[in-house]
Amino acid sequence: MHYLDHNATSPLRPEARAAIERALGSANPSSIHAEGRKARALVEEARARVAKLANTDPQNVIFTSGGTEANALALHAAIYGSAEAEARLTRIFVSAIEHESVLANINALIDRFAGLRLETLPVTANGTLDLDALRVALREGKGRALVAVMAANNETGVIQPIAEIAKLAREAGARLFVDAIQAAGKIPLDFDADYLTISSHKLGGPQGAGALILKSGAPFAPQILGGGQERGHRAGTENVPAIAGFGAAAAEAGSTLSTALRDRFERALKEIVPDAIIFGSDAPRLVNTSNFALPNILAETAVMALDLDSVMISSGAACSSGKVRPSHVLAAMGVSEDVASCALRVSFGWNSTEQDADAAIASLSKLLARARSRAAA
């Protein structure tokens, strides 16, 4: 098997598996007896490891059930935590390429708050946020704003200019929320963000764990109430095995990634398909991600064909219950629906090899040969 869908889920690292197994059967980490203290120690060790990955202090790490909950909590915290009149948010600026877990939660919250306005900001043809549009948007209007932008796109791998975005936000007195779920472990997370989110299974940790990094002093209101876990930020008994695995994966993340496999794949792709389109190729990209289109080869057809050759790739995002639908990311970049319907994503990870890249090219070559044969018949 050749698994090249790490941006969807990265296979469980052996270090994470070992940490999970050690934590299975843990007591409640809120208990004060010896077994409870052992469980608490596992949680706090993981918290320190995630904090190191996020370039923050452990006390700023709030564990959640995953990236989607972390994103929802960040938005809930920013809006409900700013409910006082002097700090109330009146505007939210979001890029047109954000993950559905951000867009859906923003839209739901907008419907509940009168006077809160949403503005979607355009991106350039290479997939980076239009900084001039952000600058103008922040200058116009009154009241405090929240800027929500992902650090790197899950489909294209394009890295956003977060330092410049943060500078514009600070100058305008705006809050900043950075979805770093796809970026964590692939680029340094040295962002000046009020809210930053990470997901375990993108790092080679288990599914079912994530984190919100809350900057000290940032407005906050809990979304889930109950026993006061996570220092009152997120109620519910912590999932100790998943959190322990998350911490182990965070400690290993980024240690084996380089551009070598992506570049090898894209060079070979251009050799067999000179007119292949590589999206975002002119922008800084995650070292592991290649989002491309083969003209006249539908993505769904290609994914199924490669699957038969035991090569696992994606047709863009893979967080929509198996649905194959036009990419809102590529649409925002000005890509036609016809081309977007041919878009594929290869994403390498901690256990990827040259053989995996070569197998994908070999399978694509077979697919193209069949397509050309049918066209010539």
Which residues are within 8 A (CB) of 235 and not within 5 positions of it... i.e. 6 or more apart? Answer: 222, 224, 225, 226, 227, 228, 229
Distance CA 115, CA 92 (A): 11
HSE at residue 93, side-chain half, CA atoms within 13 A, is: 28
Dihedral Cα 318, 319, 322, 324, nearest 10 deg: -60
DSSP secondary structure, 50-102, as one string:
HHHHTTS-GGGEEEESSHHHHHHHHHHHHHHTT-STTT-EEEEEEETT--HHH
Burial annotation 178-204 (CB, 10 A radius, 16+ → b, else e): bbbbbbbbbbebebebbbbbbbbbbbb
Rounded-to-integer distance, Cα 200 and Cα 179, Å: 13
Determine which one of 319, 324, 362, 371 is catalytic.
319
Total residue count of the chain as it appears in this document: 377
* Cβ-contact 146, 183 below 8 angstroms: no
- E strand residue ranges, 224-300: 277-278, 289-293
Supply the DSSP symbol for 226. S
**Element at 359 (helix H, strand E):** helix 354-376
SS3 312: strand
> Token pair for residue 330?
């590529």
Among this protein's residues, is 319 annotated catalytic?
yes
Nearest-angstrom CA–CA distance, 362 and 175: 47
Tell me the catalytic residues.
Answer: 319
